[in-house]
Amino acid sequence: SSDFCEKQAEIWQGKSSKRRHLALVKSQQDANKKVLGAKSLFDYRNWQKANVAKNRYMSRITNQRDDYLHKVTNQLVREYDVIVIEDLKIKNMTKNHHLARSILRQSWGRFRDMLEYKCKKYGKILIKVNPAYTSRMCSKCGKDTGKKPLSV
């Protein structure tokens, strides 16, 4: 269902963009011809309908993501007294244009914020670890095993 909504949101984004462009061109033509009662951009119903449809799908996607994040964070807070996460710099990670979209889709920042306030609310401990060298250190012995590729 989420994939369907994302696809529909993309489709309606394109339609909205095209209809906005056409409406702008038409309103500018009317203004140049000095047509009496020329329409503004917001008078074009096709563009408004496309925006409404796009926004409906976008809000549905947002609600689905928020619901999933609430369920996961609630489960974590209920099961564990101490939760340890990496304090990732999401803004820096999104500079990689190959991964930016998927990183932002996962809502890591929103996940961390939810986890923080739920831990505070239920008296649990949330520890944020500096991400430097965490993927290089062995989780059992603590030895630095060197740089690893993204596949590991």
Q: Is the pTM of this model over 0.75?
A: no
Q: Which three-class secondary structure state does DSSP give residue 32?
A: helix
- pLDDT by 10s per residue, the chain, length 152: 678 888 888 898 999 999 999 988 888 888 788 777 778 778 889 889 999 999 999 899 889 889 999 999 999 999 999 998 888 777 777 777 777 777 777 788 888 889 999 999 989 998 888 877 667 777 677 777 777 776 76
Distance from C-alpha of 107 to C-alpha of 90, rounded to nearest angstrom: 10
